[in-house]
Amino acid sequence: MTGRDLSGEVAQLEREAADALVAARSTGELEEVQSAVLGRRSPLARAHRVLAGLDPDERRAAGKALHEARTRLETLAAERAKALAAAERAAMLERDRLDLTEVTESEVRSALRRGRLHLVDQTRRELEDVFVAMGFTVAEGPEAETDWYNFEALNIPPAHPARSMWDTFYLELGQPETVLLRTHTSPVQIHLMEERPPPIHAVIPGRCYRRETPDARHLPVFHQIEGLVVDRGITFADLAGTIETFTTAYFGADIHSRLRPGYFPFTEPSAEVEVTCTICRGKGCRTCSWTGWVELAGCGMVDPAVFEAVGIDSEEWSGFAFGLGIDRCAQMRHVIADMRAMVENDVRFLRQF
């Protein structure tokens, strides 16, 4: 065979090899074709062995042609290998894909679940509604108070034994023990009576603080809604009627409530409002400390000493006040055995309301 014959044959072999490489449909197939057209037993390799029998000039020309053909085929094989590998990977990803469009309606709903007001806020709003329907307006007051508003103006002088009724958080402001976190919403009674002349018919919801160890009925941060009525001719019957109207409106007729005598320095006479414990239905349990009753509110007729502190003439005006535990109302209405659930932020609890 001459060098010219060989060059023509190489061109022919290259075309056939290129066609075979392009025709391979998988990386596995390509590897087989590659070894058939470029390997040791390929026609190209055989042609290479023929070179040895040619004279030097012809050998150089044919050798160059062979080398170039092999280089082009190797480049083509590498390109094909890359393209086939990419296609195979894409196909594999497609096979393993999770179809996220096949989500059930309830899964969509739970992914979109909206937040809601905390049970305490819902309860505060419901209580406001009950009292607004009875003709009260809604007012507010500060959570940080001076000793005068929280205690003295409410007829609780310094060192009075009744102060032990309220374990107080003091703030490091001014003279020691003069500024505090209010222990009840009653100081807002004083603010209202200072701000406007009677008649007053107001409820005041808000946060209160006491240094108490949390238990089934108590939290150190809790909520009250204060009520204050100052008008002409207000009697204890008005107070009792208001409490009765409230308990029926909020709890319904089948929850029993009662007023029992109590003591508060700023009301005289004073009473405590209790409801039958809804956890044990009155039989006695841990939540009600085995009494069958849970205290919801303190109340009473405004003490003349309080009117005097704010300059209201107690000959002309009389009034009643109450302080209702908002968290307690929620606890009894929704039968929550342990108050601490309210602040644990467990969504399984919160979602129920």
As measured in angstroms, the least distance from the Cβ of 322 to ligand PHE is 5
Closest CB to ligand PHE among residues 47, 320: 320
Minimum CB–partner distance for residue 260 and ligand PHE (Å): 13
Strand partners, 300: 270, 321
Torsion of CA 29, 34, 36, 42, to 10 degrees: 170
Q: Which is nearer to ligand PHE, 250 or 264 (CB)?
A: 264
The residues binding ligand PHE (CB under 6 A) are 184, 186, 264, 267, 270, 298-300, 321-323
- Nearer CB in complex with ligand PHE: 185/276: 185
For residues 97-106, one letter each, b for 16 or more C-beta atoms within 10 angstroms of the residue's C-beta and e for the rest, the string is: eeeeeeeeee
Least Cβ distance, residue 121 to ligand PHE (angstroms): 20
Q: Which is nearer to ligand PHE, 27 or 270 (CB)?
A: 270
How many Cβ atoms are within 10 Å of 195's Cβ, its own excluded?
A: 10
- Report the nearest approach of ligand PHE to the CB of residue 318 (Å): 14
Q: Output phi, psi for 207, to 5 deg.
A: -85, 145
Choice between 69 and 190, CB closer to ligand PHE? 190
- Residue 183 CB, nearest approach to ligand PHE (Å): 7
The strand pairing partners of 293, in sequence order, are 276
Residue 79 or 167: the one with the smaller Cβ distance to ligand PHE is 167
Q: Which two tokens stand for residue 80?
A: 């094909």
- C-beta of 336: minimal distance to ligand PHE in Å? 20
Residue that the structure tokens 């209790």 belong to: 274
**Residue 302 CB, nearest distance to ligand PHE (Å)?**
8
Q: Determine which helix (DSSP H) or strand (DSSP E) holds 194, and give its type and residue range.
A: helix 187-195
Q: What is the DSSP letter of 199?
A: P
**Token digits of residue 201:** 């018919």
- Residue 77 or 181 with smaller CB distance to ligand PHE: 181
Torsion on CA atoms 209, 210, 216, 222, rounded to nearest 10: -10
Closer to ligand PHE by CB, 200 or 299: give it.
299
Strand order of the β-sheet with 200-209 is 137-138, 200-209, 221-231, 318-325, 293-302, 267-276, 257-264
H/E stretch holding 242 reads helix 236-251
Q: Which two tokens stand for residue 343?
A: 């602040």
Which residue lies nearer to ligand PHE by CB, 141 or 300?
A: 300
Tell me the closest approach of the beta carbon of residue 327 to ligand PHE, in angstroms.
Answer: 12
**Dihedral of the alpha carbons of 186, 189, 190, 193, in degrees to the nearest 10:** -170
Q: What's the CA gap between 305 and 166, in Å, rounded?
A: 20
CA distances in angstroms from 161 to 148, 164, 201, listed in the order given: 16, 6, 31
Shortest Å distance, C-beta 225 to ligand PHE = 10
